[in-house]
Amino acid sequence: MGLARSARIAVAAAVTLGLCTPAVNADVRYEPGAPGLGDPYFPDLGNGGYDVDHYHLKTAYDPATDQLIGETTIRATATQNLSRFNLDLYKMNVRSVQVNGHRVPFARTGERELEITPRRGLRNRSRFTVVVRYDGIPETLGGPIGFDLPYGFLHTGDGATIVSEPNAASTWFPANDHPRDKAFFTIETTVPQGLQVIGNGRLVKRWRAGGKDTFVWREDHPMATYLATGSIGRFNISTTITGKGIPQLDAVDPGVASDRGSVSTPAWTAQATDELANYFGPYPFTTTGSIIENNNVPPLNVPNALETQTRPTYETPPVEKGVVHEISHQWFGNSVSIGRWSDTWLNEGYAVWTEKYWAEKHGGQSAQEAFQQIYADPPPMPPGRPGFWDLAIAAPSRDQMFHRSIYLRGGMTLQALRHRIGDEQFLRLTRTWLAEHQYGDATTEDYEALAERISGQDLREFFRVWLHSPGKPTWDR
Ligand code: ARG
Ligand code: ZN
């Protein structure tokens, strides 16, 4: 989804009014869309030449076999004259592809490319529809970027749960798999009768037929692919509305129903959804809530959770600051997304800073004290990881994109900036950042430029030291 929406409407209106006729030009040149978006850490994620408007993910999943059968319908707009274009899809068997209602040839290239050749070239700015039918067992990914735990479409005791950040959305549906192309989503999932599906946004329909239950969820704000979910299993569901009137749905795995976190999470979620709006500006989405799983993951020094849009996924019941962290991401990461995967400090730094700000506002330690403590005595890093002060957090390398220092030094950088430019300026910067990039994406450079604009200060040296250089910065009290 790009800024082209109103421009497209204007063009369509002009055509209807006969103000201009689309050129019939035999010499129009069509070229293939690029197989990547140019992300420094994931050159094959995302694709060039088009912009997705809407995903309709139709899947049927059987926990007994782990088999997923999918039909994805993508409505997109060409951003160049396209002779062919790519979608990202990791493994899985592709059975057929249609473009604008016609079956078309396709090829699998690279590790996760589905190369599609429409019958005729697609004109720049034209809208087109792609339908991909596929099936298989979604493969989970792993390694340091997923805290050395499997991530993606994860089999659970009674179904599946989905944690796709950063690159696993395309393990379960064909996508333009990059936060620079956000879109609306309809998530329609069929499961064996008696199981439930919890997706993003609102449940718009459900029905039972032939021993199966189908759930249709809709997210009506732009969403990055990695934030899409449809957790499958047995859940205790509660619905309410927050004090400020945001509809809320919480789904708790019955295996953890008596746990303290699962009891308190809905209340913390309501409170954070409403209260963070006082600090940052209106909650950006139309629903809130949580998905609380009971996955047996080994103890971690980072809570394993993902800020799935409108309804964070907690792999195990969270503590209060875990909820504040994931709800904070609804502003930082979900409404304003990062334009490159090297910018994770912007998401995680703000989410951690929000945790400390929350404690400060609730009569605990001030954020300044909390970060000064981490500054004086950072936690030890797990073996094989760079040390706490060894990263330039705005260029951490792909394997370290979720290093502890992305979180903690990220939050500390924001607190040091708050300390330097003052509370009022820092909150104004934060709110302006969220307002100017709402539902879009932005980079570290955009943040630095805005910080200088709002504060009227030359902050180049500050950002060079805190974001772009390894080593422990000096921090004057
Ligand atoms: N953004 C998540 C959080 O801090 C971290 C997700 C890391 N990725 C993963 N595959 N586990 O809440
Ligand atoms: Zn986070």
Backbone angles phi, psi at 374, to 5 degrees: -65, -35
Task: Using the atom order of ligand 1, give the atom closest to the CA of residue 351.
Answer: 4
Q: Tell me what the mean pLDDT of segment 241-256 comes to.
A: 95
Task: Using the atom order of ligand 1, give the atom closest to the CA of residue 304.
Answer: 11
Task: State the ligand closest to the CA atom of 166.
Answer: 1
Q: Quick one: 47 and 167 in the same domain?
A: yes
Given pLDDT bands bounded at 50, 70 and 90, which one contains residue 131?
Answer: very high
Given a cut of 60, is residue 22 above it in pLDDT? Answer: no
d(CA 425, CA 423): 6
Given pLDDT bands bounded at 50, 70 and 90, which one contains residue 477?
Answer: low
Percent of the chain with pLDDT over 70: 92
Cβ–ligand 1 distance for 305 under 6 Å, the answer: yes
pLDDT score for 260: 66
Nearest CA to ligand 1 atom 2: 306
ipTM over 0.95: yes
Tens of pLDDT, residues 320-349: 999 999 999 999 999 999 999 999 999 999
d(CA 179, CA 439): 11
User: Residue 333 CB: number of other CB atoms within 10 A?
Assistant: 24
pLDDT score for 11: 43
Of 307, 335, 363, the residue that ends a domain is 335
Q: Is residue 476 part of a domain?
A: no
Percent of the chain with pLDDT over 90: 85
Q: Tell me what the mean pLDDT of segment 68-86 comes to.
A: 98
d(CA 276, CA 241): 16
Given pLDDT bands bounded at 50, 70 and 90, which one contains residue 15?
Answer: very low
pLDDT score for 2: 59
Q: Apex CA 476: angle with CA 473 and CA 477, to 5°?
A: 130
Q: Is residue 477 part of a domain?
A: no
Given a cut of 90, is residue 316 above it in pLDDT? Answer: no
Given pLDDT bands bounded at 50, 70 and 90, which one contains residue 261?
Answer: low
Cβ–ligand 1 distance for 306 under 6 Å, the answer: yes
Q: Are 206 and 189 in contact (CB under 8 A)?
A: no
Q: Quick one: 215 and 313 in the same domain?
A: no
Least confident piece of the model among 66-75, 302-311, 422-431: 302-311
d(CA 87, CA 78): 13
pLDDT score for 373: 98
d(CA 392, CA 444): 13
The residues, any chain, with a CB within 8 Å of residue 43's CB and separated by 6 or more, are 36
Task: Using the atom order of ligand 1, give the atom closest to the CA of residue 347.
Answer: 1
Q: Quick one: 156 and 221 in the same domain?
A: yes
Tens of pLDDT, residues 169-197: 999 999 999 999 999 999 999 999 999 99
Given a cut of 90, is residue 296 above it in pLDDT? Answer: no
Q: Quick one: 262 and 154 in the same domain?
A: no
Counts of helices then strands in the chain (DSSP H, E):
9, 22
d(CA 448, CA 149): 33
Q: Quick one: 45 and 65 in the same domain?
A: yes
d(CA 182, CA 205): 23
Q: Is residue 413 part of a domain?
A: yes
- How many structural domains are present in the chain? 4
Given pLDDT bands bounded at 50, 70 and 90, which one contains residue 18?
Answer: very low
Nearest CA to ligand 1 atom 11: 146
Neighbours of ion ligand 2 (CB under 5 A): 348, 351
Q: Quick one: 367 and 228 in the same domain?
A: no
Given a cut of 80, is residue 16 above it in pLDDT? Answer: no
d(CA 273, CA 246): 8
Backbone angles phi, psi at 345, to 5 degrees: -60, -30
Q: What sign for the dihedral angle of Cα 192, 195, 198, 204?
A: positive
Q: Is residue 382 part of a domain?
A: yes
Given a cut of 60, is residue 297 above it in pLDDT? Answer: no
Q: Tell me what the mean pLDDT of segment 273-281 comes to.
A: 98
Cβ–ligand 1 distance for 146 under 6 Å, the answer: yes
Cβ–ligand 1 distance for 348 under 6 Å, the answer: yes
Given a cut of 50, is residue 365 above it in pLDDT? Answer: yes
Given a cut of 80, is residue 141 above it in pLDDT? Answer: yes
The residues, any chain, with a CB within 8 Å of residue 238's CB and separated by 6 or more, are 249, 250, 252, 266
Q: Quick one: 72 and 146 in the same domain?
A: yes
Given a cut of 80, is residue 39 above it in pLDDT? Answer: yes
Q: Quick one: 388 and 413 in the same domain?
A: yes
Of 306, 335, 364, the residue that ends a domain is 335
Q: Which residues lie across from 251 on neighbouring strands?
A: 237, 291
Nearest CA to ligand 1 atom 5: 306
Cβ–ligand 1 distance for 355 under 6 Å, the answer: no
Q: Are 180 and 290 in contact (CB under 8 A)?
A: no
Given a cut of 50, is residue 5 above it in pLDDT? Answer: no
Given a cut of 60, is residue 407 above it in pLDDT? Answer: yes
Task: State the ligand closest to the CA atom of 313.
Answer: 1
Q: Are 179 and 224 in contact (CB under 8 A)?
A: yes
Q: Which of 154, 165, 177, 301 to mutate to test the pocket of ligand 1 (most atoms within 8 A of CB)?
A: 165
Structural domain including 327 reads: 235-335
Q: Which residues lie across from 197 on neighbouring strands?
A: 232
Q: What is the mean pLDDT of the chain?
A: 93
Rounded to the nearest 10 degrees, the angle between the axes of helix 260-280 and helix 344-361 is 100
Cβ–ligand 1 distance for 165 under 6 Å, the answer: yes
Q: Quick one: 172 and 319 in the same domain?
A: no
For residue 448, the number of C-alpha atoms closer than 13 Å in the C-beta half-sphere is 17
